[in-house]
Amino acid sequence: MFILVGVYVLANAQPVSREPSFLRDWLPVSIGEYVLDDGSAVGTYLQYNSKPYTMASKSYKKNDAAITMIIFDYNTVPEVIDRATASWTEALNQENDEYSMSVLTVSGYKAWESFTKKTKDAQLYVSINNRYLLHLSGSNQQSSTYLRKVAEGLPYKKLIQ
């Protein structure tokens, strides 16, 4: 340990992930007319190659439709988010009779969305500062547009402070 002008600097300081409870509390209590599914709020520690990282999730319901939000903090394992987002290129933009998928930005962050037309399942992934990965999945959706709207309304500044 080094002492520098009254400030402690740790040699070989390792990055840390946010507490699961912080991530869980960052996720919204409700989403428009969707209400939190009782008992669905979860936060936990995980490991990748013996390195800890954290995640939290919440699920919401509205009649026969549902949305699940999961956020991962990969600060201690940046290689995971690097691999997850490496293929997000314009080449992924596709649409046919069965599905659509596209690369886009959500609130200034790199994102990827998909929608399966027959099953009405939507997915949206948002990479936040190459540290956090937000995943929204919706069942019985008309498109991925609503998930995008939800993601655009999240308080990212609180997350990246």
pLDDT of residue 90: 73
DSSP for residue 119: T
- pLDDT over 60 (residue 123): yes
Separation of alpha carbons 42 and 56, rounded Å: 5
pLDDT of residue 13: 64
pLDDT of residue 99: 95
- pLDDT over 50 (residue 130): yes
Q: Which residues pair with 133 in a beta bridge?
A: 72, 127
Q: Which two tokens stand for residue 73?
A: 């903090």
pLDDT of residue 113: 96
Rounded to an integer, the average pLDDT of 126-145 is: 96
Q: Which one has a higher pLDDT value, 31 or 39?
A: 31
- pLDDT over 60 (residue 85): yes
pLDDT of residue 66: 97
HSE (side-chain half, CA atoms, 13 Å) at 17: 28
Are the CB atoms for 147 and 136 separated by under 8 Å?
A: yes
- pLDDT over 60 (residue 154): yes
In this structure, the strands spanning 109-116 and 42-48 are: unpaired
Hey, what domains does the chain have and what are their CATH numbers?
20-160 (3.40.1000)
pLDDT of residue 111: 96
Smallest CA-to-CA distance from 115 within 97, 131, 128 is with 97
pLDDT of residue 4: 41
pLDDT of residue 22: 95
Smallest CA-to-CA distance from 107 within 50, 139, 148 is with 148
In this structure, the strands spanning 121-128 and 109-116 are: antiparallel
DSSP-assigned letters across all residues of 135-147: EEEEES-SSSHHH
Q: How confident is the model at residue 9 (pLDDT cuts 50, 70, 90)?
A: very low
